[in-house]
Each structure stands twice: as C-alpha cells, then as structure tokens.
Chain A
Amino acid sequence: MFPVYAFLRFFTAGILQALFFQHLVLANGWLTPSIHVYGLAMLPLGRRPWVYLVAGGAMGLLQDFAAASNGLYTATCLAVGFLQPSIGRLLAPREGYEANTEPTAAAQGWTWFAVYMVLMVAAHNLILFGLEAGRWGLLLRAEGKALTSVALTLGLVALVHLLFQPRPRTR
C-alpha cells in the first residue's frame, strides 16, 4: 500500500494542474506548467512497475477530462509511468531502493532530486508536445516549447518542494 501522503500529493498535484495550472499558459505556449508530473514523480520508489503505469493512466485520464483533450495526456502519462521505474533504476544506489523509499530532496539529496525531476519532466514534456504537434514539420518547434516549459515546471516543483517537504527532525 502507498502511504496516505503519497496519495494526497498525487491527487493534489493532479487537481491543481486540472483546475489552475493548465490555464496558466504563458508566452504563446513556450511556458506551459505541468505540475501534475510532480504527483507522479513523488510516488514512492521501489514499487512494482505496473503500479506506476496504472498511476500514470489515472493521472492522464484526470487531465484529459479537465482539458477536453481526448487521450493526449493519458498517452503521455502512461509513457511516463512506463519510464518511471527505469529512471528510478538509473539513479538507484548500488543496493537498490527499499519499498516506499521517498523520492524527496530530504531523503535522497538535492542533486539526486534535481536530476530525477529533470528526467521525469523532460520525458513528459517531450512526449506531450511531440504528440500534440501531430506532424513532422512542427516537431522541432514543439520540442523547443517542451524544453522551455521544463524550466518553468522545475521552478514550480522546486518552490512546492521547498515549501512542503517534511523537515528532518532535530534534537
């Protein structure tokens, strides 16, 4: 079972994206936040791979429902859910993760957290914008938008993480 706070983070990020951040498209689409990726990325590490796939599908359906985008987000978040265990393994310590290991900066360090989030958000944006472009001629421009939007999303993620991450207890 996932800890309750993992569920809370997942749904809060999904709802915030659906209700607020999807309306916050800046600079003609060159800065598009995708804060729901934070909800996906913050799922505990070391779980069975199908769990991330199902979570990605659920997050995608929620975003498609809110944005009337007919499968665009579902296809994207499923792909991110598929890649998530591989990204986690890529950054895993030699002994691997224990079940329910927190992918937070407090638990893994800021460098690990930054690289993990860059990979997750970049994977999401490159797939989403690539699919949305719909034709080869628009692909380069779309992927440019994807990468500039990664920067905005990472800035928001860092802000949220700094504000809400659990503080390590001091005696």
Chain B
Amino acid sequence: MRNLLLLIARHHRLVLFVVLEALALGWYASANGHARGAWIRMSLTANGAWMERVARVKHIGDLASSNDALLKENAELRAAVLARDAVLSDTSGWVVWEPPPVDTTARAAVPDSAGVVRTAVSGQRARGARGIEVPLNVYSARVIRASDDRSANYLILDAGTEDGLAAGQGVMALGAAVGRVHEVTGHYALVLPLVHTGIEWSARVGADGPAARLVWDGKSLGFTQLRDVPRSTVVAAGDTVLATGFQGFFPAGTPIGTVIDEGVDRTGEFKVLKVKLFADYRNLRYVEVIDVGDRDALDALGRRTPQPE
C-alpha cells in the first residue's frame, strides 16, 4: 500500500491527468458529444441570447439567399392553395377533399418583440402513408446556430418550452425532415439533425418499402445512407425515402430525400442506398417543429412491453 502511495506521489502529474481526462472523455462519450441534462440546459440558457445576436449578424449576410428561399416557399404555398381551391371547386363528384380541422384557439401569426413572425397551429391532423390520421401540433422557430463542420452536428432554435417545444419532437423545413429536438430550455432548443453520425433514423423507400436504418456517414451534408434494405427490395434512382413514423419524431410518410445510387453492404445481404436529402441543411433559416400528439401515449405503451427475463 505504501509503495502504491509512493508510486502515485511520484507520478502525481500523470495520475491527475489520467483522472481528469477520463472524467472529460466520459462526459463527452456519454451521448456522442450531446448528452442531455442540467449542463446543456444551463449552457443553452446562458448562450442563447448571444447566439441570437450572432445569428442576426450572419443573417444580414445571408439576406439574398434567404430572400430566394422565401420567394420559392411563397410560390410553393401559393401553388398548394390554388390546388386546394381547385379540388374544392371540383363538382365532378370524383374528388372529395376535406381541409384539416384547425383549432380555433390557434395563435395568429404576429411578429414578436424581435420582429419574427411565429405561428403555432394545434389540432392539425396529418394523414400518414397508410391513411392513418395522427394529431399534430406545429410550431415555427428560427435557426440561430448551426454547426456544419462536425460529425456530431447540431442546430439551436430560438424557441423553447414556453413556445410549446419539447424533447423528442420532429423538426422539418419546407415539408422535409431535418432532425429532432434533443434538449430544450425556456426559450431555446437543441436539435440533432439527420446529418449527425451518432443517430439512426427509421425510414423506408416509398410508402410500402421495408423499414431500414437511415445513417449519416459524416462525409457530405447533402447526402446520407439508407442501410439494411433487403436485397429483394426493388429500388430505382429517384425513389423517395420517407420516415416510417416508428420513432415518433415525424408522422409516417414525412419526406426525407431521394435515392441516387445503390450498393451492397459488406455481408452482401443488404442494400446500402445513397440518399440525397431534401432539406438543405446549410441554408436552414426557419423550421417547423412537429409534435406528434400521441407520442407520449405510444411511448408509455411501448415501455409496458414485457422484458425477457
């Protein structure tokens, strides 16, 4: 024992380093660099206001591209409205379309103190890929920070629990999947995007394809991979990849991207599909946060599954 103490005393610098480094690495490795808990909430709260200011400065430089994106979004919305009106005015009897019931308590879209227009629509119902309706709450938020240089990328939104956000909600942009809310404080939310090497997403090719794992390989922000697709699955370039909805982040059928190439994994038993993401991660400015209303109830039901003894 005495010899051990002498040894430690002699190498105290190394021992101190090993202990502190092990603590730091353990902290970092706890969730691939994005652990949840008090520290991250404290950091988000303390840095949120500063990040918002930095985002505003960056925003000035990005006004031209933001303007283009808004114009495009406006055009798409106008097209959707026109299409809806066309369907409603169709008297041929072939097409029946009912607008989703919108809660009358939904907040109006008015600029907040920062001049940002926020909308929150509750009571929407989305029709999933198999025609099953799920209740949805939709919130809008602005991206105030985004990393694009890491394997563990993240986004920070300027909306938090006070705006209706909660961990586990899905994040979308222009109707395409972007990521999920990981941690949330009163006014800010940390989002882990599809382009994060530590997370797997459940997705399928088309509405009827088998469920597979969507995993980012850490290389290009515009592309990801759909792995474990059975070789018997017929896939063609241009096929759409959709969320299965199994994880509860997105409604089933939420678009993710399109297949651009296919290969085979090392075992030779499964296909690996290269997927071009719909969401333009580098140009995200505003996003919609989706709360699949039944998520908590479904999660609770899942937890009641008998465990093997």
Contact = CB atoms under 8 A, between A and B. Distances in A.
Instruction: From B12, B25, B46, name the one whose CB has the most chain A CB atoms within 10 angstroms.
Output: B25
A53 interface: yes
Interface stretch (B29-37, B77-85, B113-121, B300-308): B29-37
Contacts of B190: 68
A28 B20 contact: no
B17 interface: yes
Contacts of A23: 54, 58, 145
Nearest to B21: A78
B246 interface: no
Interface residues of B, number: 43
B27 A74 contact: yes
B167 interface: no
Nearest to B31: A70
Contacts, number: 104
Contact of B28 (A25, A28, A131): A131
Interface in A89-143: 131-135, 137-138, 141-142
Nearest to A132: B150
B40 A79 contact: no
B198 interface: yes
A145 B218 contact: no
Interface of B: 12-13, 16-17, 20-21, 24-28, 30-35, 39-40, 42-44, 46-47, 50, 54, 58, 145, 147-152, 154, 156, 190, 197-198, 217-219, 221
23 contacts: A23-B58, A29-B148, A29-B150, A32-B149, A50-B12, A53-B13, A65-B47, A68-B43, A68-B44, A70-B33, A70-B39, A71-B26, A71-B27, A74-B24, A75-B28, A78-B17, A81-B17, A132-B151, A133-B151, A134-B198, A138-B197, A141-B219, A142-B151
